[in-house]
Amino acid sequence: ETGVTQSPTHLIKTRGQQVTLRCSSQSGHNTVSWYQQALGQGPQFIFQYYREEENGRGNFPPRFSGLQFPNYSSELNVNALELDDSALYLCASSLAGQGATQYFGPGTRLLVL
Amino acid sequence: DAKTTQPPSMDCAEGRAANLPCNHSTISGNEYVYWYRQIHSQGPQYIIHGLKNNETNEMASLIITEDRKSSTLILPHATLRDTAVYYCIGAYQGGKLIFGQGTELSVKP
């Protein structure tokens, strides 16, 4: 059974650019959630995807968007990057109906210069 | 979503039990108490969850008070590898996780 994987592990972008982060769910899991974790803070919920539809969103602007694919993998896209977007981005997978029991990937560390 | 309150830091001697408290006085009847931990530079790891009854698994035990206003996560024999930030979260079983600041547990030799 493979765990949650994320790519890339690290990324450096400049302000105004766009970025796409990728996540592969744990085998058998059909729900994906994304989190942003700034240095020294707890993870903040961005949104959750189930059956390729957004299924709940946190307090993040529309320039944060996502996709979920038929194989349950997912992408997080961030447009018009700002310096404050520098953070660890975490993906977590779960089963529908057990969405709060989540299994996290190692994260992608994004630095915006 | 329930607001939870945890001490910012705790120390524990290696081999002793670590008892991590959490207050969640606003938790609703259908919200579960979830515990996660995050070892430095890794993604959070699910530990255990419960609704009313005490729960135990291979990682830890969860004791929930009868009024459900507080709980305690117990690591029975803490090791150095248990050094991490521990998060207590009130959430619906199918819902999202709202992380607070957590408790930074340091296990010392």
pLDDT in tens, A14-69: 999 999 999 999 988 999 999 999 998 999 999 999 989 998 899 999 999 999 99
Which among A104, A108, A109 is the top mutation candidate for probing chain B, defined by the most B β-carbons within 10 Å of its own β-carbon?
Answer: A104
Among partner residues A33, A58, A103, which is closest to B46 by beta-carbon distance? A103
Q: Which of B45, B51, B44, B49 is nearest to B28 (CA)?
A: B51
CB contact under 8 A, A100 and B93: yes
Give the model's pLDDT for residue B41: 81
* Closest-CA residue of chain A to B50: A101
**Euclidean distance between CA atoms A37 and A86, whole angstroms:** 9
Q: What integer pLDDT is reported at residue A66 of this predicted model?
A: 96
Amino acid symbol at B45: Q
Mean model confidence pLDDT for chain B? 93
What order do you get walking across the sheet with B103-108 strand by strand?
B9-13, B103-108, B84-92, B31-38, B45-50
Chain-chain contact of B45 with A48 (C-beta, under 8 angstroms) = no
* CA A103 to mean position of chain CA atoms: 12
Find the CB nearest B49 among A44, A45, A101: A101
CB A82 within 8 A of CB A113: no
Residue A6 is encoded by which pair of tokens? 């994320």
Percent pLDDT > 70 in chain B is 96
Instruction: Give the pairing of strands A10-13 and A108-112.
Output: parallel
Q: Reduce the secondary structure of chain B to three states and give it as a string.
A: CCCCECCCEEEEECCCCEEEEEECCCCCCCEEEEEEEECCCCCCEEEEEECCCCEECCCCEEEECCCCCEEEEEECCCCHHHCEEEEEEEEECCCCCCCCCCEEEEEEC
φ, ψ dihedrals at B45, nearest 5°: -120, 130
> Number of A:B CB contacts under 8 A?
65
